[in-house]
Amino acid sequence: MKLADRARRIAPSATMAVDAKAKEMQGAGINVVSFGAGEPDFPTPPHVKEAASRAISANFTKYTPVGGIPELREAIAQRLKEDDRLDYRPEQIVVGNGAKDICFSICQVLLQAGDEAIIPAPYWVSYAEQVALADARPVIVPTREESGFKISAAQLDAAITGQTRLVILNSPCNPTGAVYTAAELRALGEVLERHPEVMLLTDEIYKKIAYGDDGRAPSAAAVLAHLAEQVILVDGASKAYSMTGWRIGFAAGPAPLMAAMRNLQSHSTSGAASISQKAAVAAFAGDQGEVERMRREFQRRRDTIVAALNAMPGFRCSVPGGAFYAFPNVQGALGRTYRGSRVDTSLDLATYLLEEAHVAVTHGEAFGAPGYLRLSYATSLEHIDEGMRRMANALAARHVGASA
Ligand SMILES: Cc1ncc(COP(=O)(O)O)c(C=O)c1O
């Protein structure tokens, strides 16, 4: 069968592939400890589930207005105001099927052939694919571990050309856990201010999972409120409220862009599920205590996994400031043979760990960062201990040289 060029250009999501392989092995009866999935292991909070049950009982099971039900857009606007003193009118908010769908729509309505979108690496796997699917060119700007995996204002300035239409920023970052300070965001904003034709997509889906003093990461949309015409805020219910399967994400930004996204949605998905939207109202408008409880638990897990990773031979892991990923530099563990398996790249290492230790991790290549691994610590301390024990064992069996 002849597929469209577009379809042949898409690389499958590596993180989902790792997770699928781990689940397949589990299905075959193998006890796999998975650090692959980017989703909280906690149940969705009870008051959210009850709101969904009520929606079903009340037959709230029909098509909803494109862009999301007014009640949900109102609840989101209110949450943004309370959390970050952001001022969005409900018509400046579009609800979609998860932040992934929202990012995809933004690329579709904003980008076209000849355009460039700047993406700092390491980056979340879908950005580059979504930019390419909109026929534009992803311009990957590498960042360094020494600068906390953050793009500087000078780097951003140098990357902007006459073709640049979009910059994608993700803080806290998947996969590095990097969190931009307000001062760093302001410096990036100064560059953007000189380029009013360039839009900023700020993906703040991990904003409430951060480990600084106030437990939250600064919102670029809030810090750059004076650039509101250039800023598109993306967030959702998946991570902070442990609602990955409900598929609720949203964008907040300039009204004409939101109108274009609603048009697109009217011909693509017709919007998020009615029941999920009612559940999300409860998440955004209801008690936020569960969010804080989960954040504290993530912090305990982060401290445990980072300490264990730093004790692995050849690993070096900086302490992530947010999200729920550890991103160790594993270059010191490469170029060796372990139990007969030659391991030269972080992809080789991830494959070895899955096959030999039954531990699933994602290779850095998937995020534009060879030489690193990503481990999601959105899993219990018990699993983390067991996974680290298995990894330490597998890595202890190493030999230097090609023919050991
Ligand atoms: C940085 C980032 N943005 C967006 C998403 C997508 O989230 P959603 O489940 O809302 O589609 C993810 C999920 O892994 C993510 O890591």
Q: What is the pLDDT of residue 398?
A: 66
Kindly state if the Cβ of 205 falls inside 6 Å of ligand 1: yes
In the predicted model, residues of the chain with pLDDT beneath 50 are 402-404
Residue 328 Cβ inside 6 Å of ligand 1? The answer reads no
pLDDT (0 to 100) of residue 344: 96
Q: Quote the distance between the C-alpha of residue 23 and its chain's center.
A: 21
Q: Is the CB of 100 under 6 A from ligand 1?
A: yes
Measured CA to CA in angstroms, residue 381 lies from 15, 205, 384 at distances of 21, 23, 5
Each residue's pLDDT tens digit, 298-341: 999 999 999 999 999 999 999 999 999 999 999 999 999 999 99
Residues whose CB falls within 8 Å of the CB of residue 379, separated by 6 or more in sequence, listed in order:
33, 34, 35, 41, 301, 387
Assess whether the C-beta atom of 170 lies below 6 angstroms from ligand 1: yes
pLDDT at 401: 52
Question: How far is ligand 1, taken at its centre, from the CA of residue 204, in Å?
Answer: 9
pLDDT at 402 (0 to 100): 46
- Is 109 touching ligand 1 by the criterion CB < 6 Å? no
Contacts of 154 (CB under 8 A, 6+ apart): none
DSSP letters for 160-226? --TTEEEEEEESS-TTT-----HHHHHHHHHHHHT-TT-EEEEE-TTTTSB-STTSSPPPHHHHTGG
Answer yes or no: is the C-beta of 174 below 6 A from any ligand 1 atom.
Answer: yes
Q: E strands within 24-101?
A: 33-34, 93-96
- Cβ(264)–Cβ(257) below 8 Å: no
Q: Is the alpha carbon torsion for 247, 7, 376, 207 positive or negative?
A: negative
Q: Is 322 in the pocket of ligand 1 (CB under 6 A)?
A: no
Ligand 1 centroid distance, CA of 116 (Å) = 22
CA of 1 to the centre of ligand 1 (A): 32
φ, ψ dihedrals at 150, nearest 5°: -120, 145
- Residue with the nearest Cα to atom 14 of ligand 1? 38
Q: Specify the pLDDT at position 38.
A: 86
Ligand 1 pocket check for 98: Cβ under 6 Å = yes
pLDDT at 394: 95
Burial 354-366 (b: 16+ CB within 10 A, else e): bebbbbbbbbbeb
Q: Are strands 249-252 and 231-236 parallel, antiparallel or unpaired?
A: antiparallel
Q: At what angle do helices 125-133 and 98-110 cross, to 10 degrees?
A: 40
Q: Which backbone phi and psi does 163 adopt, to 5 degrees?
A: -95, -10
Please name the residue whose Cα sits nearest to atom 7 of ligand 1.
99
What is each CA distance from 292 to 33, 81, 384, in whole angstroms? 26, 18, 21
SS3 382: helix
